[in-house]
Structure 1
Amino acid sequence: MGLALSALPPVLQARWSLSVTTIGWIMGTQSVATLLSRLHAGRLSDRLGGDRALTLGLSAAVLSGLCYVAVILPIWSRPIALALVFLGRLFMGLSEGLMVTGGAVRIIGAVPPDRIGAGMSWLGLAMFAGLAAGTAAGAVIEQNASFDTVAIMASILPVAGMLLSGWSLHPASHSAAHGAVPWKQLFRMVLPMGLLLALSSVGFATISSFLVLAFAQEHWVSGGYALAAFCVGHVAARFAGSHRIDHYPVAISGSVMLLTETLGFVMVWLAPDPGVAIAGAFIGGAGFSLTYPVFAIPLLPAQP
């Protein structure tokens, strides 16, 4: 995911002279696909277990990379090439929805009840460490080699993940002892915390879609590194706070995270130079880091 986040927007602008708005729509397709896939990913995880959802998510990531590989071939017309890019973003959104949901289900079933928040934090830490490495690597590869290499790597890495994990060979059993919850009741339960998560995620969606282009518009050459700084801040906050969030009220820890995130994004907005913008991206990533486990913990069922 990280490889394409930093490398794809400049390619879209250079090869097809697309406007910033059009590129934003294409990049934002991933978030839309993630949103639409989350409910199905949750049902799949409940029925087949988190391991199987993770495996399917990695498979969708492979398909996303293969779409980018296909775009490289000089046989497509402009509309078909852009349709392949669009399809690649859809597959990556599906991948994100499956992996985040499946990973969370697996963590909930694998750690003690009083450490679920920490376990979910470590899951997110691993994902955003990959994003940080991927965005930096994508920027370097695209600048020094080509997008072709980025596309090939984006196809191979998820396959390596499946081979190393062995998830597809050992699907975990899953208990449905709690039974089904009516849809209306479930919606009322998740609405307050869901709204907070939605608001906290707006900044991440904006950063991932437009930060690299904003740097290019200012003629700053470090857009990919700014995106990596956001991910590094996310990882750093997970390291510093993952073992503590289970011990503070949601109102306190959630407010601290949201205010920190706001400060970072204001710094990016008002940045007079790339250094300040990169620092703001780091702080924004740190603030966004723990919002998911903090606001998700109250939604977990009571443990005996």
Structure 2
Amino acid sequence: MAFPLMRAAPPARLLLLTAILLISYLCVALSLPVIPVFVTGSLGLSNALAGLAVGIAFLSTILTRAYAGGLSDERGPKVAVARGLFFYVAGALASMAAGLLPEAPWSAFTILVGGRLLLGLGESLVAVGVIAWGVGIVGPAAAGKVLSLVGAAIYGALAIGGPLGLVLFARLGFAGTMAVSAVLPAVGLLAIWRLPSVAAHPGRERPSFTSVISRIWLHGSVVCLQGIGFAAIGAFFALHFRDQHWSHAGLGLTAFGVGFVLMRLLFGHLPDRIGDLPVAIGSLAMETVGQLLIWGAGEPAFALAGAFLTGLGGSMIFPALGREVVHRVPPHLRGTALGGFSAFQDLAYGLTGPFAGLLADRAGYDSVFLTGGMAAAAGFLIAIFLRRRGAAAAAA
């Protein structure tokens, strides 16, 4: 008799895959708020190094997107996801080892950076693989739904993982928190073992990765600018609260994640109904307001409201613009194109940490969120330009 998953309808398999992603991504989410606290507190190093420890995982993701997309296209997305989950486990275990060396801060930091690089490689493989797998299950016509569900799983994990990570850190220490985070992707590996994959496309002619990027770079730049706000919250919201002597520092990612998931669940249909760029323009305006609210907040409630608005605003930009990416390439290039498009968001996540850390050392944590607001405003202007250019081309 066939295993039940083999007989499950495509929507049920997509939901199962989304649930596996949510559980596994907690490995990433648990670490985001505790790494800056560990680096600046336990190791006694600077904010810039704390930002580097957070951001270098995303830089690793950028550098491996082409590899992840090619692997997903050539050998199938299930292989990419399984390999990525393995690197999640390896990265978490390396970070756990760093937590055992608080008396040797530079050795601990070096090991931590190595673990973060492994985690970034895992993130590249898992994200590209899950999206390609989901699109393969339900078809490219439902690509927007796949992207929305994937984003909801990722940011739902962030909403849970932010406060949970700080609770575990307080009770188990950094090493114990990283040990817990290593278990979660291992559960994901077991869960996908019998989940059927979709067809790979080996041996097909492929243009260079840079030629694929050239088709999507302007839309990708909007995603990059949008991602700075989330990266600022992930790396420095908890430290900003501690600096202001405010309680509930772990709720920043929760507020962001709740706004993000709420928007996906209630308004995920908007790109289909009113168009991709109108959704992106409205979302970027909302994110700009959210970041500026955190920057000017005089009390924690306003800062949390700003994080919530940032989540609402940032929610629909990636799926709205990502739908166009899926439809612009043939199936055998889908993983490569999605990897390239995702790399723009990774760029924001990777660079924001270290550069915002330098800014925080010199101008305070609130300046980080002013920068996030300015970046979202720049993305808003580019999105308006893209809409006007598209309207002009349609009228010609």
TM class by smaller structure = over 0.9
Deviation at 1:170, TM superposition (A): 5.2
Match of 1:6 among 33, 49, 68: 33
1:285 is matched with 311
- 1:162 counterpart = 2:192: no
Amino acid at match of 1:205: A
1:117 is matched with 144
2:80 is matched with 53
- 1:212 counterpart = 2:238: yes
Amino acid at match of 1:226: G
1:97 is matched with 124
| CA distance 1:184–1:119, shift in 2 (3 Å) | closer
| CA distance 1:75–1:123, shift in 2 (3 Å) | closer
Q: TM-score, normalised by structure 2?
A: 0.72
| CA distance 1:248–1:175, shift in 2 (3 Å) | farther
Encode CA deviations 1:46-71: one digit per residue, 9 max, x unaligned: 11111111111111110111012212
Give, in whole Å, the separation in 2 of the partners of 1:79 and 1:13: 12
Encode CA deviations 1:154-176: one digit per residue, 9 max, x unaligned: 11111011112216x85543135
Deviation at 1:246, TM superposition (A): 2.2
Give, in whole Å, the separation in 1 of the partners of 2:289 and 2:102: 47
User: Secondary structure at the residue paired with 2:247?
Assistant: coil
| CA distance 1:256–1:178, shift in 2 (3 Å) | farther
Encode CA deviations 1:228-272: one digit per residue, 9 max, x unaligned: 211221111111122332222222111011111111111111111
Deviation at 1:45, TM superposition (A): 1.0
Give, in whole Å, the separation in 2 of the partners of 1:292 and 1:178: 28
Encode CA deviations 1:165-223: one digit per residue, 9 max, x unaligned: 216x8554313597423445423211121111111112122221221211121122322
Give, in whole Å, the separation in 1 of the partners of 2:130 and 2:271: 19
1:73 is matched with 100
Match of 2:294 among 251, 265, 268: 268
Deviation at 1:12, TM superposition (A): 1.6
| CA distance 1:155–1:120, shift in 2 (3 Å) | same
| CA distance 1:183–1:151, shift in 2 (3 Å) | closer
1:140 is matched with 167
Q: Identity percentage over the alignment? A: 29
The runs of 5 or more residues in structure 2 that have no matched partner are 1-27, 332-396
The runs of 5 or more residues in structure 1 that have no matched partner are none
Amino acid at match of 1:52: V
Q: TM-score, normalised by structure 1?
A: 0.92
- 1:240 counterpart = 2:283: no
Does the CA contact (< 8 Å) of 1:121 and 1:290 recur in 2?
yes
2:213 is matched with 187
- 1:43 counterpart = 2:70: yes
User: Secondary structure at the residue paired with 2:305?
Assistant: helix
Give, in whole Å, the separation in 2 of the partners of 1:275 and 1:171: 45
Does the CA contact (< 8 Å) of 1:114 and 1:246 recur in 2?
no
| CA distance 1:190–1:178, shift in 2 (3 Å) | farther
Amino acid at match of 1:124: G
Encode CA deviations 1:111-143: one digit per residue, 9 max, x unaligned: 143321012101111121112111121112222
